Amino acid sequence: MTRRVGILGGTFDPIHTGHLDLAAAAERALDLTAVLLIPAHVPPHRPLPEASSFHRFAMAALAVNGRPGWRVSDMELLASTRSFTSATLDRLHGEGHHPDELYFVIGADAFSDIASWKDYPHILEKARFTVVARPGHTLAAIRSSLPALAPRMTSADDRHAARGSIFLIDAATTDVSATAIRQRLGRGEDVQGLVPPPVRQHIAQHGLYVSMARTGEAEIVPNPPAAGRLHGQG
Ligand code: ATP
């Protein structure tokens, strides 16, 4: 059986239902044999994630539980510098993955910036880029905003697509962002349905994303902001 590995990178601060919908849509449309989530290392000079690398990894690991073939990779988190996607794909090639078996799954919002990525346009040959619509970011908008790439765009069932083709998948994903989740939690609101139940429990149990500015928070949060403090990020 041919390996077909979906790769989903992100800050995952925290991982949410939209991320899982995105990867699941690619898994279905492309018949993926594996899905690899790669949380990003964010270096000190960039806006820091609110949760530490440890918590972001832990939440991603909880989110893939029970999904056969899905794994979380620590390869970018273990690096001391920011890992560009191009270098991550090179590394996967070095580990024995052929570019044609790697499907780099990305939301339409993030893909619209592809021309600014390191190693563009060569990066498009390093994996099969797979763009999934995101609420508010349609595939039609991608086609018209990236006219130079439009001829390479094809559907997920094009099994003879040449190297450098870009697969487009029009699937419905939950209309949510990690920013919106952090804001809700900061206001003390529930995020049920927006993150998988074990992730929601992890967030509550560790007091993640709780705004210290909220009155009385110190008394009601048993482990005040573990997020970000464990790793010298606080
Ligand atoms: P933030 O709000 O912190 O910027 P985010 O929710 O956009 O975070 P990221 O970790 O930046 O999440 O995104 C990782 C990948 O997941 C990107 O390719 C992004 O386009 C995609 N993605 C995130 N949320 C959704 C969603 N609701 N539907 C489809 N794709 C999504």
Q: Would you say residue 194 lies in a domain?
A: no
φ, ψ for residue 158, nearest 5 deg: -80, 90
Taking CA atoms only, the protein residue closest to ligand 1 atom 20 is 107
Q: From the CA of 160, how far away is ligand 1's center (Å)?
A: 29
Q: For residue range 142-169, what is the model confidence (pLDDT) as tens digits?
A: 999 999 999 999 999 998 899 999 999 9
Q: Would you say residue 195 lies in a domain?
A: no
What region, left, alpha or beta, does residue 200 occupy, with left being phi > 0 and alpha being psi -120 to 50 degrees?
Answer: alpha
Q: What is the CATH number of the domain that holds 92?
A: 3.40.50.620
Test site for ligand 1: of 134, 170, 174, 176, most ligand atoms within 8 A of the Cβ: 134
Q: Would you say residue 232 lies in a domain?
A: no
Q: How many CB atoms lie within 10 A of CB 93?
A: 14
Q: For residue range 6-17, what is the model confidence (pLDDT) as tens digits?
A: 999 999 999 999
The verdict on the CB of residue 50 being under 6 Å from ligand 1 is no
Test site for ligand 1: of 7, 22, 37, 105, most ligand atoms within 8 A of the Cβ: 22
Q: Minimum mean pLDDT among 1-5, 34-38, 91-95, 220-224: which range?
A: 220-224
Q: From the CA of 39, how far away is ligand 1's center (Å)?
A: 12
Q: For residue range 69-103, what is the model confidence (pLDDT) as tens digits?
A: 999 999 999 998 888 999 999 999 999 999 999 99
The verdict on the CB of residue 181 being under 6 Å from ligand 1 is no
pLDDT value of residue 95: 96
Q: For residue range 17-30, what is the model confidence (pLDDT) as tens digits?
A: 999 999 999 999 99
pLDDT value of residue 81: 84
Mean pLDDT across the chain: 89
Indicate the pTM of the whole model: 0.90
Q: Ligand 1, residue 12: give the atom nearest the CA.
A: 10
Containing structural domain, residue 89: 5-169
Q: Where does the pLDDT of residue 45 fall: very low under 50, low under 70, confident under 90, or very high at 90 and above? A: low
Q: Would you say residue 80 lies in a domain?
A: yes
- Number of domains observed in the structure of the chain: 1
Q: Where does the pLDDT of residue 46 fall: very low under 50, low under 70, confident under 90, or very high at 90 and above? A: low
Q: From the CA of 218, how far away is ligand 1's center (Å)?
A: 31
Q: Would you say residue 126 lies in a domain?
A: yes
Q: How many CA atoms within 13 Å lie on the side-chain side of 140?
A: 2
Q: Which helix (H) or strand (E) holds 104?
A: strand 102-107
Q: Which helix (H) or strand (E) holds 17?
A: helix 17-30
Q: Would you say residue 212 lies in a domain?
A: no
pLDDT value of residue 43: 65
Q: Would you say residue 28 lies in a domain?
A: yes
pLDDT above 90: residue 1: no
Q: Would you say residue 222 lies in a domain?
A: no
Q: For residue range 110-137, what is the model confidence (pLDDT) as tens digits?
A: 999 999 999 999 999 999 999 999 999 9
The verdict on the CB of residue 177 being under 6 Å from ligand 1 is yes
pLDDT value of residue 3: 95
